């Protein structure tokens, strides 16, 4: 088994553009599938503006038709989950010959969707703790963080362990300057990320506030804590207990973070559909199936559904 060196990036935005840019900058063979930005990026390349040092890639391998994509070792799915219907036309061209399908999507349920198209044995889950925005076509601004947590997907819901291919993928990404953490239990990692995503994504929309405002205001800070504890209770009911110390760490990390508009607020402000089902609907349904209600999360879920821009 060789270390992967060729990557297809599906979704060249704040996530895919940033990580794909780092990979190409480090010498990997990277192919970018684009939609609206194809003409601009194929002509002008990518600009990565970063707190860690920016760079420009004047020439990138850009594609608008998935049928033209070459075979690559890793297919990185960095689309918003609201665009996942397109994957039924894209992944059969990109995911072939047993390559890895790495999903870098939010919420719960992404791996299951990838597995239904590309096969469960090919799927690895990735969770990004990244403050990054696409500010113009082909122009990514990285503000803070950058960690990707990687875990093997198993269709039976059991921990996938640390496999040799997971280690090789982690090593290749780390060589491109991407902080990497390997985990044995991907579903637990998904729930742990929801501890942050559920309060801060949704409240940033309904309160029209950035992360620093949410955490400084005693009322919204208390609501964030209540939502975080509710997520932890649901996770425990789904056989993935979360240490209370982790919640405190998330609050402390957010206090130190630069004022930030989470991805859901950016989508709302741009009148784009928000990732409500993956971040809220799926966890609520998983908790209900395990016999636990999430009343504060459900309240936020209903508020977001009412605000969601029409597609």
Phi, psi of 201 (to 5 degrees): -65, -55
The catalytic position among 80, 134, 193, 265 is: 193
What count of other Cβ atoms lies within 10 Å of the Cβ of residue 168?
Answer: 16
Burial class of residue 157, CB neighbours in 10 A (0-12, 13-18, 19+): middle
Cα–Cα distance list, 205 to 143, 261, 304 (Å): 20, 9, 8
Q: Select from 241, 303, 220, 304 the least CA-distant residue to 268.
A: 304
DSSP-derived 3-state class of residue 293: coil
Q: State the Cα–Cα distance between residues 285 and 277, nearest whole angstrom.
A: 10
Q: Select from 284, 285, 276 the least CA-distant residue to 306.
A: 276
Contacts (Cβ under 8 Å, ≥6 apart) of 65: none
How far is residue 169 CA from its own chain's centroid? Answer: 17
> CA torsion angle for 274, 278, 283, 286 (degrees, to 10)?
140
**Strand blocks (E) in the chain:** 6-10, 29-33, 46-50, 55-57, 61-63, 74-77, 100-103, 123-136, 139-152, 180-182
Q: Select from 199, 211, 160 the least CA-distant residue to 296.
A: 199
Cross-strand bridge partners of residue 100: 74
193 assigned to active site? yes
145: tokens are 């963080």
> Which positions are annotated as active-site residues?
193
């Amino acid at each position: 088994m060789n270390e992967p060196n060729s990557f297809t990036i599906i979704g060249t935005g704040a996530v895919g553009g940033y990580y794909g840019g780092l990979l190409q900058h480090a010498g990997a063979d990277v192919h970018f599938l684009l939609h609206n930005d194809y003409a601009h990026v194929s002509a002008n390349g990518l600009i990565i503006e970063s707190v860690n040092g920016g760079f420009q890639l004047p020439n990138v391998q850009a594609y608008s038709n998935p049928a033209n994509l070459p075979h690559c070792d890793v297919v990185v799915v960095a689309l918003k989950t609201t665009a996942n219907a397109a994957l039924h036309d894209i992944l059969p061209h990109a995911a072939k010959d047993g390559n890895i399908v790495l999903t870098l999507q939010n919420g719960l349920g992404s791996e299951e969707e990838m597995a239904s198209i590309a096969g469960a044995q090919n799927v690895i889950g990735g969770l990004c703790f990244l403050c990054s925005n696409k500010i113009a076509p082909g122009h990514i601004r990285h503000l803070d963080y950058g960690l990707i947590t990687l875990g093997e997907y198993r269709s039976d819901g059991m921990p996938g362990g640390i496999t040799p291919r997971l280690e090789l993928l982690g090593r290749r990404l780390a060589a491109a300057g991407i902080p990497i953490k390997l985990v044995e239990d991907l579903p637990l990692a998904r729930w742990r990320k929801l501890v942050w995503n559920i309060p801060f994504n949704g409240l940033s929309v309904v309160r029209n506030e950035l992360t620093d405002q949410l955490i400084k205001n005693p009322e919204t800070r208390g609501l964030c804590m209540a939502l975080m504890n509710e997520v932890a209770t649901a996770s425990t009911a789904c056989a993935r207990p979360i240490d209370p110390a982790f919640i405190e760490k998330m609050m402390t990390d957010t206090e130190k973070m630069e004022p930030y508009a989470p991805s859901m607020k950016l989508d709302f402000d741009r009148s784009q559909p928000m990732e409500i089902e993956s971040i809220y609907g799926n966890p609520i349904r998983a908790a209900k199936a395990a016999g636990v209600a999430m009343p504060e999360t459900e309240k936020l879920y209903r508020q977001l559904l009412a605000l969601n821009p029409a597609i």
